[in-house]
A and B are shown apart, each in its own frame.
Chain A
């Protein structure tokens, strides 16, 4: 929703919005280098591939096959690419699911990049236990606790009840009870 709302507002202004998510099952593959690379990929696949990236690629290609990028090179390329854009939003979901080692590397790289790029905003979502890691890298980070509102829960329940494939099992009283009790119980959690 944040990503889509940023995209909608961006319209055709030169605002780049990139989205990443982490997954327990892909911890190996989701290294800091690959994640920064995925951000770059999203930026350049829409805006075109800048010449400095093509040059870096051709240089890497001369050696045996294509040499993959090191983290420091990736940081430089991303910094350069971001600098050419008016505004960039980076959104990362489930950061807690990345491996601790990759996460620390990624946060450190992003800190370096963001310090140099005043046009860049970083959005991170994750479980509370990574809070101290975020604060360590970004001491002034703005933090919002996420908790569904009563309205959120009611909309969701209504959607599920309206989509019930066996509506005969439901009557008005049961429906009213569900709509009353479920949000109450969730608030107590």
Chain B
């Protein structure tokens, strides 16, 4: 996550709450702390990942689905 956070006024806080009660950022920090460096990096090197990531225009297929059974490490790859 980018560390830079814009200052948010009182109405801003109400708006954020109004948009959604969910707080997914917190969970990300927890997973990130447990992750082992280098493990799973091969995903980023696959031609499928590159194709999804690199193309600049909208002509490419914009959706990438990584699937696996419980325990293979999907959450850590995320």
Contacts and interface: CB of A to CB of B under 8 A. Distances in A.
Given A30-B22, A144-B46, A152-B39, A45 B74 contact: no
A140 B44 CA distance: 20
Interface residues of A, number: 73
A94 B72 CA distance: 12
B24 A38 contact: yes
B64 A121 contact: yes
Interface residues of B, number: 56
Interface of B: 1-2, 4-6, 8, 11-12, 14-16, 18-25, 27-28, 32, 35-36, 38-44, 46, 48-49, 51-53, 57-58, 61-70, 72-78
Interface of A: 1-7, 10, 12, 17, 19-21, 26, 29-30, 33-38, 40-42, 44-49, 53-54, 57, 60, 66, 68-69, 91, 93-94, 114, 117-128, 130-131, 134, 138, 140-149, 151-152, 155-156, 159
